[in-house]
Every structure is written in structure tokens, then in C-alpha cells.
């Protein structure tokens, strides 16, 4: 019942930490910052750029949650890129294998099951291929669009790149943590599998309507962003199966009521 969690000061890692602590796990919050304080967890200093430090942080752990910063996140380290994300994700997998960790839970992306030509997607695809190549036992989580990234209190209008007539899958970040805790608790069931995570399927116009605002799509000339938001199809997601696993799974309306 010892779990090492990467990104515990961030959204996904923080949600995973909360739910693991609530479930009775001893959580090691792996951070580069020795002053990081995460309720219910002990801070262990390690750097995803340093496999040796990760191996030490993972020693004796029964499971590891791996998540890397998003390349577009303004809080990401200076010089961070999809190539760095791939290297860090590989380092975590290598360190887990070296430490004898029996279960790695990797936070990937809904679109990372195949090569797409989008650098920030393919970075995760490369990590997944590496995990498979080295033989580290793994469960892959594939979150869809974060509800948390669409809603902000007092937002006068919802503006996004999402096409107004296309239905998109959405997931609350806290539900990612709850589902991850279920996966940690039952490795015999989940090792070797992947789970695409969603709690709702809505168009941006419907999303904005639930928020009580108008929707406006904005355009960009970046071909990679166009591929992300115009040229891809939403994957099928069995939301009811996820709700059977996690009965508290939120729709977007549920999410708004909680906020």
C-alpha cells in the first residue's frame, strides 16, 4: 500500500494523491521541490530528468503514478518540449522497472493510442511504446477534455478551438483521481489494459449553455492545432462502464453544481 505519485502538486497527480490517501495508501509525493507539502503525503525529492533519483524514490513502492507536464503548460520548466516529455516518461518507466515496481499507472491522452503527427500527442505515444518495449507492467489512462479547463467563475463567454457542432468527451480531473485509485486497488484486473476516461459527451454550444454563456470558436493558422481540433474524430467511450467502476462519475452539469 505504498504509492509513488508524480505531479502531486499538479491537477492529475494532486487528484490521484487525494483519492489514494482517502483509500488508505501511504503516498510518496515525488517532487523536485523539497518544500512541497501535499496533505496526507510525504514529499520525496526526485527529478524526472534523473532516472537514478526516480529509482531511489520508487524503492519499495507497490505502484507508481506517472504523469508529465504538458508542453503548452506555462508552469512547465524552461526549455520543456514534447521531446523532453517523452524522455521524462521513459525515465519514469525505466526507474519503475529498475525498482521492481509491480504496477505503473501512466496518464497518457485519448489520442495517443496511435501516431498522429501532433507532437504533443505523439510524445505520449512514444512513452507508451517504450513502456511496452521494456516490459513494465502498466495500466494506461486516457483522459479526454478536462471539464476543469473549460469552466472559470464569471466567464462572460466560452471561447475555444472546439468546433461548435461536434460532440466532445469530457472528464472532471477529480474523477481521473478516483478512477486511478480504483485501478491501483485492483492490479490483477487492470494491468495490461487501457481506460479512456469521460463522464459526458457534449457540443461546445451545449457546454456553454449549461454555463449560461454563449460559445465562440476562434480560428488559428497553426496546422497542428487544426489537426487536433478539426481533423480528428472522437473515440468511443463506455461512460456507463466507467460509472459502474466509479459511481460518482460526474456529468458536466454535475461538475458545475459542485463548483
Q: What is the pLDDT of residues 205-217, one digit of tens each?
A: 999 999 999 999 9
Query: How many Cβ atoms from other residues are within 10 Å of residue 88's Cβ?
Result: 25
For residues 234-243, one letter each, b for 16 or more C-beta atoms within 10 angstroms of the residue's C-beta and e for the rest, the string is eeebebeebe
Q: Map residue 233 onto helix, strand or coil.
A: coil
Q: How far apart are CA 99 and CA 59, in angstroms?
A: 5
Q: How far apart are CA 248 and CA 242, in angstroms?
A: 10
Q: How far apart are CA 112 and CA 73, in angstroms?
A: 18
Q: What is the pLDDT of residues 9-21, one digit of tens each?
A: 999 999 999 999 9
**pTM of the shown model:** 0.95
Extract the C-alpha cell encoding 64: 507508481
What pLDDT was estimated at residue 232? 63
Of all residues in the chain, the percent with pLDDT exceeding 90 is 80
Residue that wins the pLDDT comparison between 56 and 231: 56
- Cα 9 to Cα 5, 38, 46, distances in angstroms: 10, 7, 13
Q: Which residues pair with 146 in a beta bridge?
A: 171
Q: What is the pLDDT of residues 169-213, one digit of tens each?
A: 999 999 999 999 999 999 999 999 999 999 999 999 999 999 999
Domains of the chain: 2-258 (3.40.50.720)
Residue that wins the pLDDT comparison between 168 and 221: 168
Q: What is the pLDDT of residues 85-111, one digit of tens each?
A: 999 999 999 999 999 999 999 999 987
Q: How far apart are CA 71 and CA 88, in angstroms?
A: 12
Amino acid at each position: 500500500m505504498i504509492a509513488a505519485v508524480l505531479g502531486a502538486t499538479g491537477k492529475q497527480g494532486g487528484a490521484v494523491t487525494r483519492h489514494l490517501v482517502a483509500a488508505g495508501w501511504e503516498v510518496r509525493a515525488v517532487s523536485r521541490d523539497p518544500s512541497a507539502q501535499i496533505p496526507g503525503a510525504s514529499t520525496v525529492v526526485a527529478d524526472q530528468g534523473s532516472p537514478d533519483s526516480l529509482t531511489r524514490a520508487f524503492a519499495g513502492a507497490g505502484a507508481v503514478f506517472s504523469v508529465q507536464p504538458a508542453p503548452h503548460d506555462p508552469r512547465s520548466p524552461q526549455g520543456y518540449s514534447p521531446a523532453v516529455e517523452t524522455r521524462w516518461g521513459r525515465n519514469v518507466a525505466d526507474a519503475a522497472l529498475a525498482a521492481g515496481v509491480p504496477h505503473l499507472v501512466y496518464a497518457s491522452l485519448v489520442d495517443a493510442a496511435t501516431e498522429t503527427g501532433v507532437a504533443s500527442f505523439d510524445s505520449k505515444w512514444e512513452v507508451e511504446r517504450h513502456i511496452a518495449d521494456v516490459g513494465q507492467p502498466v495500466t494506461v489512462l486516457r483522459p479526454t477534455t478536462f471539464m476543469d479547463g473549460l469552466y472559470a467563475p464569471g466567464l462572460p463567454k466560452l471561447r475555444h478551438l472546439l468546433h461548435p457542432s461536434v460532440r466532445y468527451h469530457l472528464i472532471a480531473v477529480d474523477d481521473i483521481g478516483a478512477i486511478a485509485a480504483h485501478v491501483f486497488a485492483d492490479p490483477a484486473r487492470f494491468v495490461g489494459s487501457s481506460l479512456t476516461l469521460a463522464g459526458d459527451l457534449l457540443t461546445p454550444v451545449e457546454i456553454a449553455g449549461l454555463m449560461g454563456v454563449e460559445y465562440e470558436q476562434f480560428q488559428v493558422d497553426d496546422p497542428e492545432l487544426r489537426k487536433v481540433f478539426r481533423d480528428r474524430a472522437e473515440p468511443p467511450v463506455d461512460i456507463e462502464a466507467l460509472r459502474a467502476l466509479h459511481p460518482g462519475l460526474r456529468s458536466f452539469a454535475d461538475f458545475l453544481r459542485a463548483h
